[in-house]
Chains A and B, each alone.
Chain A
Amino acid sequence: MIQISHVDKWYGSFQALKDCTTLIDKGEVVVVCGPSGSGKSTLIKCVNALEPFQEGEIVVDGIKVNDRKTDLPKLRARIGMVFQHFELFPHLRVVDNLCLAQEKVLRRGHDEAMAKAASLLDRVGLNAHAQKYPAELSGGQQQRVAIARALAMDPIAMLFDEPTSALDPEMISEVLDVMVDLARDGMTMMVVTHEMGFARKVAHRVIFMDQGEIVEDAPKEEFFGKPRSERAQKFLAKILSH
């Protein structure tokens, strides 16, 4: 489904990604972790071409991302993305946040878009807030709206860029619950997160990155059992010691 092969990316002379290669199958949930600055956010932003890269190639559902001929808006419409800082549109009501791209990109009629929005808001438990503005919601609620907004496009895969890092601790679980449900429904997911509990629960595979490299790419049991690399062992020891 998502094929990343030998991707290199530079910011000027700084190499942010070094020869990254991995494959994510349909229905697979892959957690990407690593210390900050390791390139994990950059890597998933390359998947829907929000970040350009210089070498290598990424193919999503048979479509090459880094091809000049690729219709990027069309491709992005099929890949859902959830951001660390939610990025709901503050000037639109919650329901209009969910309808905008359905109507302007997928050309759905207003009634159809509204029905879809209502059913997704119901799914994330926020139907009562449909007419509010994002600023009136808590962080956890905003992030659930952001997930619903991405799902409204009927994506073939979902990318999560540290979805719980900007949340207060008591709101993290309400977002993770939605993501767990999504994973159990068979959604293809690539999740950058430090939530190892989430990884243990639903991930099939864990990718560990450090300094722009994929250091470890192993099935969950193997990764948590005994990571092969010393760097991953150290990282796990640090984040699991408390």
Chain B
Amino acid sequence: MFETFDFDVIRRSLPYLFFDGMTFTLTLTALAAAGGLVFGTLIALLRLSRLPVLSQVAALYVDLIRSLPLVLVIFWFYFLVPYIGQWLTGASRPVRVGAFTSSLVTFVMFEAAYFSEIMRAGIQSISKGQPAAAQALGLTYSQTMRYVVLPQAFRNMLPVLLTQTIVLFQDTSLVYVLSIPDFLGAASKVAQRDGRLVEMYLFAALVYFTISCIASFGVRRLQARIAVVR
């Protein structure tokens, strides 16, 4: 049944798929995960704040983001950001924002919401005696968080954070709606140019599957090692 397929198209497009497509996908994944972790941690701290205003604002943000389809926000944000930029800077025409920047901002916003819930669970898993001991030594609130609570919360939650990053790695393929050549976008371009849809999409699926699988396996091994240390 394979005689009508041309798998050589994969070999011919490999450099483009990996040097352009996969590089973009991995860059976006890494930057979005890093940004999401930083902002997610801040949102988690707000959410756990004793001031009701702060915790409610943070909760509202997380609920809002989690109730919207990601692909819609990517799309919508791409067209909206230039106008927000214009409004913020007072420029006379919409600010030009590249597709990469726009999609990165969207993913950071989304991952911040997801990571914040993970970090919140991590912070709450630390016994109350730890911040009490830190404060008794004279550490301020921010020092207590930075040196005592967050490092432990991060360590406890590392497997969950990495698993979420694997999901993010797959989700970055949604940027294809902006016609950005990420890995899936690049595969899709070749597929349509050469009329080799089945081959290219099969190959793309295989690559996503392989990378995610290996990464999941790595996370499980890490989890086992952390469990031993504790």
Contact = CB atoms under 8 A, between A and B. Distances in A.
Interface of A: 48, 50, 72-74, 76-81, 83, 85, 87-91, 100-101, 104-106, 135, 149-150, 153
Contacts of B134: 89, 101
B148 A76 contact: no
Given A89-B148, A104-B147, A83 B133 contact: yes
Contacts of B155: 91
B125 interface: no
B129 A83 contact: yes
A105 B143 CA distance: 9
A18 B107 CA distance: 54
Given A83-B129, A85-B129, A101-B139, 16 more contacts: A48-B136, A50-B132, A50-B135, A72-B135, A73-B138, A77-B137, A81-B136, A87-B129, A100-B137, A101-B138, A104-B147, A105-B143, A135-B230, A150-B137, A153-B137, A153-B138
B147 A73 contact: no
A105 B138 CA distance: 6
B140 A91 contact: no
19 contacts: A50-B135, A73-B135, A73-B138, A74-B138, A77-B138, A78-B138, A79-B136, A81-B136, A83-B129, A87-B132, A89-B147, A89-B152, A90-B152, A101-B138, A104-B139, A104-B147, A105-B137, A105-B138, A153-B137
Contacts of B135: 50, 72-73, 76
B98 interface: no
Contacts of A48: 136
Nearest to A49: B135
A59 to B, nearest CB: 18
Contacts of A149: 137
Chain B binding surface, main DSSP class: helix
Contacts of B138: 73-74, 76-78, 101, 105-106, 153
Nearest to B151: A91
B13 interface: no
A100 B136 CA distance: 13
Interface string B112-145: 0000000000000001011011111111100100
Q: Return the 6 tightest CB-CB contacts between A and B, nearest first.
A: A77-B138, A87-B133, A101-B137, A81-B136, A105-B138, A87-B129
Contacts of A105: 137-139, 143
A106 B129 CA distance: 22
A41 to B, nearest CB: 11
Among B130, B138, B151, residue most surrounded by chain A Cβ atoms (within 10 Å) = B138
A72 B138 CA distance: 8
Contacts of A72: 135
B153 to A, nearest CB: 10
B122 to A, nearest CB: 13
